[in-house]
């Protein structure tokens, strides 16, 4: 199934499949997204259900976050599958994707299987180390 087909499929059926993720209190979600957006260089942030690619919350502008969420859902699922195939008793702490002008940080939420934080940063303005620490703190503070 192509990415476009996946996006179309997720738009049509995500609401029914979202049952895998427990709802996040709106004030906690908004505070978490505000914290992510306060990071120097933050472009966009989202909390994503990795079973469907559905965005549970988002902040910022500049990219098609729906397409990015579905694509990164595939990244997370592929990495989990690889870890399992290797027989590792490990979990993903975070995934960093670096492109020419941006950092993309993907961090699965340990307290809620199937949900991850997605943050896009401008490479020229972001401090990667402090950004990762802030994302980790947001993950710890998220309540489901």
pLDDT digits (tens, 9 = 90+) for 36-79: 999 999 999 999 998 888 999 999 998 899 999 999 999 999 99
Q: Are strands 55-60 and 42-49 parallel, antiparallel or unpaired?
A: antiparallel
What is the C-alpha to C-alpha distance for residues 95 and 113, in angstroms, rounded to an integer? 16
Task: Kindly report the average pLDDT of the chain as a whole number.
Answer: 85
Indicate left, alpha or beta for 68 from its phi (over 0: left) and psi (-120 to 50: alpha). alpha
Give the residue carrying structure tokens 């961090």: 107
Q: How far apart are the first and last CA of the chain?
A: 31
| Cβ atoms of 143 and 133 closer than 8 Å | no
Q: For the chain, what is the domain count?
A: 1
Closest CA to 119 of 141, 98, 89, 142: 98
Confidence of residue 4 (pLDDT cuts 50, 70, 90): very low
Indicate left, alpha or beta for 118 from its phi (over 0: left) and psi (-120 to 50: alpha). beta
Closest CA to 73 of 97, 49, 109: 49
Closest CA to 21 of 88, 109, 103: 109
- Please give the pLDDT value at position 3: 43
- Please give the pLDDT value at position 106: 97
Here the CATH number for the domain that contains residue 115 is: 3.30.450.30
Q: What is the CA radius of gyration of the chain?
A: 15
Partners of 115 in the β-ladder:
49
**pTM (predicted TM-score):** 0.82
Q: Looking at residues 14-41, what average pLDDT do you find?
A: 72
**Range of 33's domain?**
3-141
């Amino acid at each position: 199934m192509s990415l476009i087909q996946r996006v179309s499929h997720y738009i049509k059926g995500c609401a029914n499949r979202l049952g895998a993720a427990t709802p996040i209190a709106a004030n906690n979600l908004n505070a978490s997204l505000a914290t992510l957006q306060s990071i120097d260089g933050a472009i966009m942030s989202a909390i994503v259900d990795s079973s469907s690619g559905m965005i549970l919350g988002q902040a910022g502008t500049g990219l098609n976050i729906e397409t990015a969420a579905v694509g990164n859902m595939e990244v997370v699922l592929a990495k989990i599958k690889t870890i399992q195939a290797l027989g590792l008793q490990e979990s993903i702490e975070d995934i960093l994707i670096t492109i020419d002008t941006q950092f993309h940080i993907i961090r699965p939420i340990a307290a809620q299987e199937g949900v991850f934080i997605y943050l896009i940063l401008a490479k020229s303005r972001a401090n990667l180390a402090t950004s990762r620490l802030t994302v980790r703190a947001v993950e710890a503070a998220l309540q489901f």
